[in-house]
Structure 1
């Protein structure tokens, strides 16, 4: 079984059930499956064969779902790309990923024209409308126009016949390029088995069902959204409430209008929702579950959000290389704030030392993961693959500990740990203290070189009080942290730099320091 097959089966037994709602327009599972089949057959007419690579640069629209499932049904490998990447970033991924065909939005055509010379191997560019004005006439002068096809043309050229290409479990379904925060992006190859197993296990763990209405606000090109609020809901027959982009106002509106039952977001989204002045518990009363992932959710924010809106937030953990989910706080047992939860079905997590030996409960080590969701490797990078995959275990690079009840806690990224005078300082511990301050909205800390201690702690904060000073925060931290954990410098910013999934860009913070020296 794979995702495309399961979608078709759902369409057969629940044909009239709503599959998604986008801009107040509904589509049934029958309509979605028919569009997927026609697009898949249209791709074949364009010469796409099993194993060919297709890039999706379309953002949160039904085109993403049709493009993803249509390509998978044709046996192609899909490479989702962030639409706001620069031409150089997009060009690198398309070239490194050996992309043969691109699906993109009409508003991105000028960008595609700009990088056309960088991607000579791309044979066709399929254009999806963002408005009712197609591409005819307006874009005929584009140099790349001979390559262009509208998605309407491709869909209408394909027969409405379900034709499933013979697909093996180990065939590569998706290549997800990492964000590249430590260098050039690496493409994690996820198989059909990887994606299907994780979507199935997550759906079961979170008790998703055909009655659920899932707010899809996370970016679809990111693995968190791809599995948790796209594949898992569709696999269980739920309905997606697709948001083109995250907006606190729109989340409250959709939740109330459609009686949404599930919301998933990163900590930044929860912070914006909590700070939004017009959001009420009444708006979110239909939610049975909120899911947080992508980064650690500060405990103070988690508790404040739950108290304000009266909903449960279940924190989990994952990474692109694991499709992504490995842990979730259980829904049928006690939840522990600050924990990423326990093993999900069919997945094992361990905490090990530098020799790969499991450490006792309570001790910090590297988190490693094993299961049917773990990638087959990095595309065209055998050495990096060998370093990440050892004896069937994926080494995550995250520092963690496990308590006596089997709950895991992320301490920090291994590479982000700060060593002050020989003492280990985990940024998250300091950030948790700062987040608990009533006048701190956001906080992040990094290590900077220090001639005496090796490294010192540099804190960046966003405050809602203009009169808050570094001296105030120093005194506050001294009350809650050991002396060597207290930041030596506090930088006040209007906002922290983040990527499109809400993760704080620590490299940008380091660049900020170098530019201000």
Structure 2
């Protein structure tokens, strides 16, 4: 598997045709186009062409099942669905049109919630002042410029990989794109292209180190986020990459909260840093983290006013993670949302998986949980009560769940553990079945 090098100039031409193709298909400012295809330079250009013409790309995992895909397309009220190569080609055969020099919207990504129902993160179309402020903030934070060669390791339907790639191109740099992540190919790309920047989840780093010795001397920035990074891995990364090049940040699909540079982490191991510029962190009496964000970085949950109201207190936002702040404003995470599993940098919520498993013939009830895993960070597991085999469960999950959500281990039990109030106790399950 090879990496493709996408230049700013080459992508610009495709972006202009894509914007024209979307307009020819009847899309107007504020409309939504679903993009659900494997990573490619053309997909990236269509996303950018949409953003720079005020059309909002809805980025979906191409591995979603047909049912999952249809539910999200309907929820997004998409004006156009691009989920096959023929449609993609038609879009980029449109007449070239003028584009804004910065994105006029944020992509719409779906993030799971404690209800198990995915929520679209919606920012709408931004006015010129807000659009420029959002773009400038990101460029100034990461110092993107025309000399950058950005190595993409994660899929473009995730918010951070797409954000780093688009801002690199818009700053005049080039982007190195795989069709999928492969650690050996990533190592080869580091040697051949000598990238200056990359974004990754710790899982990517684990797999790269397991596959060989990467050439890292060209990097000025290795940004990582998406899941907790074990101390031993963090120290190896710091020792392997150039001095002060490793930067961790904490955030979510909804918003970015902190930045932690190498020297800060070394002096305060375990911290995820301080509030990034333009933001202010607080922790309430229950340990829930709140972040005050500037107006240009705010959002709502698409067609979910109750969930939007629960997430905001004025200008302050929470995604229900918990943590603590030290006297100098450095944040330490105590945990993600109680029932969230982060596997390979992907957020997975048990309730969504349980809904599918509970519909499997013979299943009476199930409980999904995560256990620590050296490869994935966390491993998705399920305890199941009923007259069913593990093979039946695996086959049923394959038909109803995207790959990241399918349990890797099934445990057949007579009953599920419960708490004092009679609710299923997910917290008890990892200790019962951890390897």
Q: Which interval holds the TM-score relative to the shorter structure?
A: 0.7 to 0.9
The alpha-carbon deviation at position 240 of structure 1 amounts to 0.9
Normalization by structure 1: what TM-score?
0.62
Do structure 1's residue 301 and structure 2's residue 245 form an aligned pair?
Answer: no
Matched with 2:360 is: none
CA deviation vs aligned residue, 1:211-233 (integer Å, no higher than 9, x gap): 12111111111111122x21332
* Aligned ranges 1:47-446 → 2 under 5 Å: 47-106=26-85, 127=86, 150-156=87-93, 158-162=94-98, 173-179=106-112, 182-191=115-124, 193=126, 197-227=133-163, 229-276=164-211, 278-280=212-214, 283-308=215-240, 312-322=245-255, 325-330=256-261, 335=266, 336-354=268-286, 364-372=287-295, 374-416=297-339
SS at match of 2:63: coil
| Aligned-pair CA distance for 1:175 | 2.0
Residues 25 and 507 (structure 1), Cα distance of their counterparts in 2 relative to 1, 3 Å cut: closer
- Contact conserved, 1:41 with 1:74, CA < 8 A, in 2? no
Kindly indicate whether the alpha-carbon contact (under 8 Å) linking 2:225 and 2:250 is maintained by their aligned counterparts in 1: yes
> Quick check: 1:367–1:399 contact (8 Å CA) kept in 2?
no
RMSD between superposed Cα atoms in Å: 3.5
Q: Distance in 2 between matches of 1:371 and 1:216?
A: 28
Matching residue of 1:436: none
Call closer, same or farther: CA 1:495–1:343 in 2, change over 3 Å.
closer
Contact 2:19 2:96 in 1 (8 A): no
Instruction: Give, in whole Å, the separation in 2 of the partners of 1:349 and 1:87.
Output: 40
CA displacement at 1:266 relative to structure 2: 0.8
Q: Deviations over 1:1-38 (max 9, x none)?
A: xxxxxxxxxxxxxxxxxxxxx95654543332222112
Q: Match of 1:415, SS?
A: coil
* 1:464-503 matches, cutoff 5 A: 496-497=379-380
Q: 8 Å contact 1:61–1:244 — kept in the other structure?
A: yes
| In 2: Cα distance, 1:403 partner to 1:494 partner | 26
User: Cα gap change, 1:153/1:506 in structure 2, threshold over 3 Å: closer, same or farther?
Assistant: closer
User: How big is the shift at 1:201?
Assistant: 2.3
Q: Compared with structure 1, are the counterparts of its residues 462 and 45 closer, same or farther at alpha carbon in structure 2 (3 Å cutoff)?
A: closer
Q: Which residues of 2 match residues 13-52 of structure 1 at below 5 A?
A: 23=2, 25-52=4-31
- Compute the displacement of 1:365 (Å): 3.9
Taking CA–CA contacts closer than 8 Å with sequence separation of 6 or more, which of the two structures ends up with the larger relative contact order?
Answer: 2
SS of 2:380's partner is coil
Work out whether residues 264 and 273 of structure 2, in 8 Å CA contact, stay in contact via their aligned partners in 1: no
| Deviation readout 1:461-510 (Å, 9 max, x if unpaired) | 5579xxxxxxxxxxxxxxxxxxxxxxxxxxxx998239xxxxx989958x
Q: In structure 1, how many angstroms separate the alpha carbons of the residues matched to 2:2 and 2:60?
A: 23
Per-residue CA deviation, residues 111-139 of structure 1 (Å, 9 max, x unaligned), is xxxxxxxxxxxxxxxx3xxxxxxxxxxxx
Distance 1:196 1:515, change over 3 A: farther
In structure 2, which of residues 360, 371, 382 is the aligned counterpart of residue 460 of structure 1? 371
User: SS at 1:350's partner residue?
Assistant: strand
- Contact 2:51 2:105 survives alignment (8 Å): no
Q: Which runs of 5+ in 1 are unaligned?
A: 1-21, 107-126, 128-149, 355-363, 418-426, 429-445, 447-457, 465-492, 499-503
The answer to whether the 8 A contact 2:199-2:223 is kept is: yes
Whether the 8 Å CA contact 2:5–2:176 is kept in 1: the answer is: no
Shift of 1:257: 0.6
Per the alignment, in what secondary structure is the counterpart of residue 251 of structure 1? helix
Could you tell me how far apart the structure 1 residues matched to 2:232 and 2:262 are?
20
Query: Contact 2:259–2:276 (CA<8 Å) still a contact in 1?
Result: yes
- The alpha-carbon deviation at position 244 of structure 1 amounts to 1.4
